Structure 1
């Protein structure tokens, strides 16, 4: 069952997106588009096996906890999607095939095969628009600020190991990502690369383009390899380093950052 927009997210399952620490004082807005692997009951699990629903295909493992830790350290608002990216990937525009993929790496997604235009539109209304509108309102309320999106990636993709541990991605404006790349060795002993393991050419900077580039705001997309986010202590160490990097590169945030 696909459902229309009104029935797609059932009672007790919503909202599709939330903002945490809305009054945070830092001149930074954090975003985690792939924070949840929740699939609304109306979609019957998209036909996925439990292993697929728990995998990196359904969400960015560890990214929500990392984003929350950064929010606490920076005192920054955090916008979270509460629906799996296999239902709708909030880092993709509605016209992109990857917004509702029928295949994600090794995982087939039966519930996304042969979606009708009406079914796609229902997911846009139920998942993407609430997320997009909440983020827009949060940025408008904050005023001049820096947009930072928080993601994780799998150590092996399509059978190919990834050596990079921390990626810093940018859209049209590379300044913040480049500045953070230079600052990284002082804060985190991780193999750090610019535009890895993805880049704007892969279509992964939609949120940056839609919300930061369009407003003339500095922005960066952070990608952390998910085997480095295996427990609270590991997440805390990486959050400490990333918060210090952000504070060093976004000077007005420096007063708020620090280990918690």
Structure 2
């Protein structure tokens, strides 16, 4: 095996695909994987628990990959389970490393000391956000327009015993340059129950990645939540990716900057 092949076989906690894609959009997948690195075993959980939404966002990576291809957009994905550490939470968040997720206790996340927290930050959280920042700087240096971040997530149809009627939710803060036309476009299709800041809103502390990399730098962004029972296979993932990509291409024709700051002002 050659050196380049050996390098490709090394597992990394974050993956960047299509970094020189021509689209202004950059796709982010915070909860792409349910992978738990070997030293952590299963965190005291049963194998079935790692297939549930508590460990990742099922279907989100497939949608993200299809959107990346359709839009010719870069994709940044975390390859570590949110049960190890949640890349979409600030470091001071109480659920950064969840001791309980929904109704499931995570035994090996209970009572962690500061050193273990720092190990997990260095393992996944830090490299994920550094990869996003480095991608933005590299693209700015090559003359690409400022990134328009699209974070792709999925949500469970029933949470804590409560059914969620939405097929898709569009999450945004006060900067709705992408969210408003995307909501309008989805509603105009007259096929879906569209949640507006449902099933989550930024007030629920689920908007950290976009606050850090978009809002704080005057960049447009949107968070997309798709109900995970609607993206259970490749066909469904590609269908949703197609719907969203058509709408995003239309939105890209309009103004997308909040303040006009360039990506290289980080």
TM-score (norm 1): 0.89
Contact 1:188 1:241 survives alignment (8 Å): no
**What is the correspondence of 1:65-214 to structure 2 with a 5 Å cutoff?**
65-143=62-140, 144-187=146-189, 189-214=191-216
Deviation at 1:29, TM superposition (A): 0.5
Which of 20, 26, 31 aligns to 1:23? It is 20
The Cα offsets for residues 18-37 of structure 1, whole Å up to 9 and x where unpaired, read as 10111111011000010000
Distance in 2 separating the partners of 1:248 and 1:185: 15
Deviations along 1:145-173, one digit per CA (max 9) or x if unpaired, are: 21000000000000100001111111341
Residues in 2 aligned to 1:91 and 1:244: alpha-carbon distance in whole angstroms = 26
- Out of 136-145 and 75-84, give the one that drifted further: 136-145
Q: Is contact 1:87–1:100 with CA below 8 Å preserved after alignment? A: yes
Show the 5 A alignment for 1:31-42: 31-42=28-39
Tell me the equivalent position of 1:255.
Answer: none
Superposition TM-score, scaled by structure 2 size: 0.88
Cα pair 1:188 1:242 within 8 Å, conserved: no
Q: State the Cα RMSD in Å.
A: 1.5
Distance (Å, rounded) in 1 between the aligned partners of 2:155 and 2:66: 18
Distance (Å, rounded) in 1 between the aligned partners of 2:25 and 2:240? 18
Gaps of 5+ in 1: 1-11, 253-260
Q: CA deviation at 1:187?
A: 4.8
Q: Deviations over 1:181-215 (max 9, x none)?
A: 11113457221121010000100000010000111
Q: Name which of structure 1's ranges 152-161 and 178-187 shifts more when overlaid on structure 2.
A: 178-187
Tell me which residue corresponds to 1:62: 59
| 1:219 to 2:221 alignment | yes
The size of the alignment, in residue pairs, is 242
1:230 counterpart (229, 232, 235): 232
| Offset at residue 249 of structure 1 (A) | 1.3
Q: Distance in 2 between matches of 1:217 and 1:58?
A: 29
Please list every run of 5 or more consecutive structure 2 residues that lacks an aligned counterpart in the other structure. 1-8, 141-145, 255-266
Following the alignment from structure 1 to structure 2, what is the Cα–Cα distance between the partners of residues 236 and 188? 19
Check 1:25–1:187 CA distance in 2 against 1; reply closer, same or farther (3 A cut): farther
Native 8 Å contact 1:188 1:238 kept in 2: no
| 2:83–2:98 contact (8 Å) kept in structure 1 | yes
The Cα shift of 1:174 comes to 2.4
Are the counterparts in 2 of residues 145 and 217 from structure 1 also a CA contact under 8 Å?
yes
